[in-house]
Amino acid sequence: MKVRLITATAALALLLGMSAAAEAASTLRYCSEGSPEGFGPQLYDSGTTLDVVRPVFNRLVEIKFGTTDPMPSLAEKWEVSDDGLTYTFHLRKGVKFQTIKGFKPTREMNADDVVFSFNRMLDKSNPYHDVNGGSYAYFEGMGMPDKMKSVEKVDDMTVKITLAAPEAPFISEVAMEWASILSKEYADKLAKENKKEQIDQIPVGTGPFTFVSYEKDAVIRYKANKDYWRGKQKIDNLVFAITKDPAVRKAKLVAGECDIMPYPAAADIDALKANPKLTVEESPGLNIAYLTMNATMKPFDNKTVRQAINMAINKDAIIKAEYLGGASAAKNPLPPTIWGYNDAVQPYPYDPDKAKQMLEGAGVKDLSVDLWYQPVSRPYNLDGKKMGELMQADLAKVGIKANLVTYDWAEYLKRLHNGEAPMAQIGWTGDIGDPDNFLYLHGCGGTGKAPGQNNEKWCNNDYDALLKQGLETSDQAKRVEIYAKAEQLIHDEAAIVPIVHSVVFMPMSKKVQGYVMDPLGFHNFEGVSLK
Amino acid sequence: MIRFVVHRVLLIIPTFLGAALLTFTLIHLIPGDPIQMMLGEKVIDPVRKAAMLAQYGLDRPLYVQFFDYLWQVAQGDLGKSIVTKNPVWDDFFTLFPATLELAVCAMVFAIVVAIPAGVLAAEKRGSVYDHALMGAALTGYSMPIFWWGLLLILLFSIHLGWTPVSGRIDLDYYFDEGTNFMLWDSLMSDQEGAFVSALSHLILPSIVLGTIPLAVIARMTRSAMLEVLGEDYVRTARAKGLSGFRVVGIHALRNAMIPVVTVIGLQVGTLMGGAILTENIFSWPGVGSWLVNSIYQRDYPSVQGGVLLIAGLVILVNLSVDLLYGVLNPRIRGRR
C-alpha cells in the first residue's frame, strides 16, 4: 500500500514537473541558509537578512556587480564640496515604487523618500524612529548618528547630506543596505492605518523584485517588478527556500528542487564540481583569518618574537587540512579583492629553523602560552580546533609550548576584546569594499590605547596617522598610496599573523545564467536568467 | 472522579512554575547575551551596549526579571522576541501547526505500525518473528535521528527519487490564506496535485520522527499483551470458545492498552524533542528549530515562552492521558 502510494506520488510529481516546465513563468529557486530576522533593511546587519531585502530595494549609490566600485543608482550624479563635508545627490527621474496588495504608489520616487529614509534613523523625533525598536544596527554601528549632521531636501529631485567631518568612504557607505530608500507614501499610509510596524515586515521599495509573501522559516516569495527602472527581470518569480543544513541544501540542488545554493560544506565541493548538471562558481572571500599576539604581554611586545612566529606557522598545511584547498594564504590584513591591496609586500617565508634562531636570540626560552581557538565555525575559519592543533604543532617545532584554550563564542569575544588573550584566532568579514573597513581594526585612534576591536592590542602612532590621512581625502589614487604604506608598516612590525582568506563557493544548476559572484559576499539575483 | 480531575488540574500550577524557573535559570546561565550574538566580531561602545541591554530590561537583577516575567505571563503576555520584535505568542503559533501536523502524523505512523506488531510479537512469542521485531525496535530506538533522516533522504529522495528532499510542499504551491496545516490547506485549495505533494513531503519526516516512539510502543505493547494473555480471564474466554480475534483484539488488547496509553502520553515529550532534529534535517518550519535558533541567538523571551508553551502542551497531553486512564480503568476513577 505504501509502495503504491509512493509510486503514484512519483508518477504524479513527474507529470506535474513536465507540465510546469511547459508553462511560461520562470522561477528561480534559491536554497537559502537561514531565516531572516525581518524585512527592514535599516534594522538588521546579518548577511542572511540583508540578502532577503536586497531584491526589493535600491540605494542612492550601488556597487557594480562583481566589483567593489560604486556606481550611480537612484542618484544619477553627485557632487562633494571641497571641504568634504557636503554631498549633493541628484535623483533619477522616472523611478517607480512597487505596488503590493493594499498599496499602490501615486507618484514616482523623489527627495521626500530619501529624506524620510535617512531621517528615520538620524532624527530621534521622527515619528518612525522608534517603530520596531529604534535600533539601527549598521547605521549606529558605523557611527553615522555622529558623522551625519543633516539630510535635507533641496528640491524635489535633489538631496543634500552634510557630514560632521570628511569621510572618504562615504559613497561606498551609502551603497550599503542600511541606506535603502523606503517609500514615504507607504510609510504615511501605514501610519494612518495605525500599522507602522508593517514597514519592516512587508517591504516596499524600487528594486527588481516585489515582495509577495513570507511563510515563516520556510519560503520567501518575490515576483519580478514590471516597472523596474533598470528593466523588468528575465525571471518571473524568485523563491528563497530556507534550508538550514548544508547537506540537505546539497541534496536539494542535486535532486533539482533548488537551482542555486550558498555555503556548501567543504567536503562536498569536489562532488558538486564533478556533477555534470551543476557548476560551482568561486571567488575569494572578503575576509581574513588571523592569529593575534598580545602586544601588552611579554614576550609579544618584542617585534622579533612576533616576526619569528610569523615564520613558524605553516599556512599551506592549514589550507590543505582545514579548508581542503578552499583558501589562499594571506600576507596582508585585507584580501586581494579590495582595491588598495598592496601586492608588493613580501610575505614572511615559512622557515621554522630561522624562527627558532630568532626566538633564541630574543631570549625566549621554555615559553608556555595559551593559544585560544575559535569554538564556532566562521566563514573565514571553518574549524578553529583543527587550526589550533596545527598551530600548536608548528609552535612546538620552534620551542614554544602552546596550550589550546577556548570559551563559548560570546565569552570568547568578550574576553578577547578585553585584552585577555595572549594568542587568539580571530578574523573579519568586510562590510564594504573599502580598505579602511579592514585596516581600522588594528588602529588605536592615536591614543596609544587599543580599543575593543583591536584584538592584538598593538598600537603604533605612525599607523594611526596613516589611517587618519586615508579617511581625510576622497582621492582614490592618494588613498591607495597611503594604505600601501600602512600595510607595509603593519607587515614590518608583524602586528598579527595573517593566515588565510577563505574562498566562497556557489554551486548552481547549469540552467542558471548571469549570476555574478559578489566580492562583498552578498547574493545578488538581479540580471539572472534560467535557460 | 471530580476530585481526581481537580487534583490533577491543580498540579499544573507548580509544574508550570517549576518549568518557568528552570528555563529562566538555564538560559541566563549560558554566557553571552542577545546583543553580543547580534554583533559577532564587531564591537560597540560599552555605553551604547548598556543602553541596548536596558532597552530589553536585561540590566535588572535576575530575580526582578523573573518575577516581572511571571507577572507578565499570568496576564497572558509572553513578551516580544528580541530578534524579530514580534510577540512570542504570534511567532510560536505561526509555526506550531507545522510541528503539530508532523507530530500527529509521526504518532499515527508509530501507533498504526507498533500496536499490531507488538500484539503479533506477543502472540508468537519466542518465534523468529518476535525476535526480529524486537531487534528492529531496539535498532530504531538506538539510531541517531539525524543520521537516520539523512540516510532516508539519500536513499529515497536522491538515489530512488521517490520522495522529495525537504520542506512541507513543492515550491510551486502557495496558499494565500491558510491554517498552516498543509494537508488541510492543500485539500481545500483547488490547486492540482497540492494534496499529494503535501502528503509526499510528510512521509520521510513522519517516519524519522516516529521511529523512536514506534520502538517504545511496540515493546510496551508486547510486554503488556504478554502479561494480559497470561491472565485467567483470557484462558476462560478461550475456553468459552470465543474466536482468537475476539479474545486478543477485544478483551486482551483493551486491558493491555492501559500501560500503552500511558507510554503514548509520555512519548509526546519525546516527540517534541525529536521534532527539533527532524525539523532541522527536513527544513520543516516548526517550533523545534525556532526554539534552537532562539537559544543560539540568546533570544530570552522566545526561549522562555517557547518552553513554557511546549511544557503546557506536554502537561495537557499527560493530563488527558491520566483522565483517559480513569476512563479505561474504572478502578482508578473512584479512588482518592
Report the complex ipTM: 0.80
How deeply is A94 buried, as exposed, middle or buried, from its count of CB atoms within 10 A (0-12, 13-18, 19+)? Answer: exposed
CA of A6 to nearest chain B CA: how many angstroms apart? 6
Q: Which residues contact B63 (CB under 8 A, 6 or more apart)?
A: none
Pairing of strands A158-163, A148-155: antiparallel
Choose the closest CB to B165 out of A13, A132, A252: A252
CA of B336 to nearest chain A CA: how many angstroms apart? 47
Instruction: Give which of B93, B145, B148, B172 to mutate to test A binding, by max A Cβ within 10 Å.
Output: B172
Q: DSSP letter for A196, please.
A: G
Choose the closest CB to B289 out of A215, A217, A451: A217
How does pLDDT run across B72-95, given as a tens digit for each residue?
A: 888 888 888 888 888 999 999 999
> Are the C-beta atoms of B81 and B91 separated by less than 8 Å?
yes
Choose the closest CB to A426 out of B41, B52, B150: B41
Contacts with B, A 159-218, CB within 8 Å: 197, 200, 213, 215-218
Choose the closest CB to A245 out of B158, B164, B280: B280
A408 → chain B, closest CA residue? B31
Choose the closest CB to A137 out of B38, B91, B166: B38
B72 touches chain A (CB under 8 A): no
B101 touches chain A (CB under 8 A): no
Q: List % helix, strand, coil for chain B (3-state, nearest 5).
A: 75, 0, 25
How deeply is B48 buried, as exposed, middle or buried, from its count of CB atoms within 10 A (0-12, 13-18, 19+)? Answer: middle
Contact check, Cβ <8 Å, B167/A137: no
Q: From chain B, pick out residues whose CB is under 8 angstroms from the CB of A219.
A: 167, 171, 174
Closest CA to A520 of A43, A60, A54: A54
Choose the closest CB to A133 out of B33, B85, B164: B85
Determine the residue type at B336. R
Give the torsion sign (CA, B301, B306, B307, B311).
Answer: positive
Closest CA to A58 of A92, A104, A10, A84: A92
Q: DSSP letter for A46, please.
A: -
φ and ψ at A91, to 5 degrees? Answer: -80, 155
Closest CA to B40 of A419, A451, A379, A244: A379
Per-residue buried b or exposed e for A248-266, using 16+ beta carbons within 10 Å of the residue's own CB? bbbbbbbbebbbbbbbbeb
Collapsed DSSP state (helix, strand, coil) of residue B217 = helix
Pairing of strands A70-72, A61-63: antiparallel
Most distant CA pair in chain A, distance: 79
Task: Tell me the Ramachandran region of residue A325: left when phi exceeds 0, alpha when psi lies from -120 to 50, beta otherwise.
Answer: left
Per-residue buried b or exposed e for B120-159, using 16+ beta carbons within 10 Å of the residue's own CB? bbbbeeeeeebeebbeebeebeebebeebbbebbeebbee
Closest CA to A35 of B86, B133, B74, B73: B86
Beta-carbon contacts below 8 Å between A and B: 144
Cα A479 to Cα A71, A87, A97, A333, B296, distances in angstroms: 19, 19, 37, 16, 40
A428 touches chain B (CB under 8 A): yes
Q: Which residues contact A320 (CB under 8 A, 6 or more apart)?
A: none
CA of A475 to nearest chain B CA: how many angstroms apart? 28
Cα A372 to Cα A55, A381, A406, A421, distances in angstroms: 39, 13, 5, 7
Closest CA to A506 of A240, A280, A317, A273: A280
Q: From chain A, pick out residues whose CB is under 8 angstroms from the CB of B34.
A: none
pLDDT score at A455: 93
Q: Which residues contact A183 (CB under 8 A, 6 or more apart)?
A: A97, A105, A109, A113, A204, A205
Q: How far apart are CA B291 and CA B271, in angstroms?
A: 14
Q: From chain B, pick out residues whose CB is under 8 angstroms from the CB of A251.
A: 153-154, 157-158, 165-166
Contact check, Cβ <8 Å, A9/B174: no
Collapsed DSSP state (helix, strand, coil) of residue A152 = strand
Contact check, Cβ <8 Å, A413/B41: yes
Q: How far apart are CA A377 and CA A211, in angstroms?
A: 32
B85 → chain A, closest CA residue? A132
CA of A369 to nearest chain B CA: how many angstroms apart? 23
Q: From chain A, pick out residues whose CB is under 8 angstroms from the CB of B84.
A: 37-38
Q: From chain A, pick out residues whose CB is under 8 angstroms from the CB of B48.
A: 140
Domains and CATH numbers, chain B: 96-335 (1.10.3720.10)
Contact check, Cβ <8 Å, A9/B41: no
pTM listed for this prediction? 0.83
> Are the C-beta atoms of A243 and B204 separated by less than 8 Å?
no
> Are the C-beta atoms of A183 and A108 separated by less than 8 Å?
no
A255 touches chain B (CB under 8 A): yes
Q: Cell 516527540 sits at which residue?
A: B271
Contact check, Cβ <8 Å, B165/A29: no
Q: How far apart are CA B52 and CA B38, in angstroms?
A: 12
Contact check, Cβ <8 Å, B174/A221: yes
> Are the C-beta atoms of A248 and B165 separated by less than 8 Å?
yes
> Are the C-beta atoms of A293 and A299 separated by less than 8 Å?
no
Alpha-helix runs per DSSP H in A300-341: 303-312, 315-321
CA of A208 to nearest chain B CA: how many angstroms apart? 21
> Are the C-beta atoms of A284 and A292 separated by less than 8 Å?
no
Closest CA to B103 of B263, B261, B257, B278: B278
pLDDT score at A6: 52
pLDDT score at A314: 96
Closest CA to A289 of A253, A324, A259, A331: A331
A198 → chain B, closest CA residue? B86
Contact check, Cβ <8 Å, B168/A27: no
Q: From chain B, pick out residues whose CB is under 8 angstroms from the CB of A213.
A: 174, 176
Q: How far apart are CA B321 and CA B258, in angstroms?
A: 10
Q: DSSP letter for A99, please.
A: P
Q: How far apart are CA B36 and CA A438, in angstroms?
A: 20
φ and ψ at A32, to 5 degrees? Answer: -85, 165
Q: DSSP letter for B157, please.
A: I
Cα B159 to Cα A17, B163, B217, B282, distances in angstroms: 18, 10, 31, 17
Q: How confident is the prediction along chain A (531 residues), in pLDDT tens digits per residue?
A: 555 555 545 545 454 444 444 446 899 999 999 889 899 999 988 888 999 999 999 999 999 888 878 899 999 999 999 998 999 999 999 999 999 999 999 999 999 999 999 999 999 999 999 898 888 888 887 889 999 999 999 999 999 999 999 888 899 899 999 999 999 999 999 999 999 999 999 999 999 999 999 998 999 999 999 999 999 999 999 999 999 888 899 999 999 999 999 989 888 899 999 999 999 998 888 899 999 999 999 899 999 999 999 999 999 999 999 888 889 999 999 999 888 999 999 999 999 999 999 999 999 988 999 999 998 888 899 889 999 999 999 999 999 999 999 998 878 988 998 899 999 999 998 888 889 999 999 999 888 888 888 999 999 999 999 999 998 887 889 999 999 999 999 999 999 999 999 998 999 999 999 999 988 888 999 999 998
Contact check, Cβ <8 Å, B32/A409: yes
B161 touches chain A (CB under 8 A): yes
Q: From chain B, pick out residues whose CB is under 8 angstroms from the CB of A254.
A: 158
**Average pLDDT of adjacent 10-residue blocks, chain B of 336 residues:** 80 86 87 77 77 84 88 88 88 92 93 91 88 91 90 91 90 83 88 89 94 92 87 81 76 79 83 87 90 88 91 84 74 59
Cell of B46: 560599552
Choose the closest CB to A9 out of B36, B200, B289: B200
Cell of B328: 479505561
B116 touches chain A (CB under 8 A): no
Choose the closest CB to A37 out of B84, B168, B283: B84
B290 touches chain A (CB under 8 A): yes
Contacts with A, B 11-30, CB within 8 Å: 30
Q: Cell 508509530 sits at which residue?
A: B110
Q: How far apart are CA A386 and CA A403, in angstroms?
A: 14
Q: Which residues contact B72 (CB under 8 A, 6 or more apart)?
A: B78, B79
Contact check, Cβ <8 Å, A12/B33: no
pLDDT score at A2: 54
Q: From chain B, pick out residues whose CB is under 8 angstroms from the CB of A248.
A: 150, 153, 165-166, 281-283
Q: From chain B, pick out residues whose CB is under 8 angstroms from the CB of A215.
A: 285
Q: What is the dihedral of CA A483, A488, A494, A499, to 10 degrees?
A: 70
B38 touches chain A (CB under 8 A): yes
pLDDT score at A267: 86
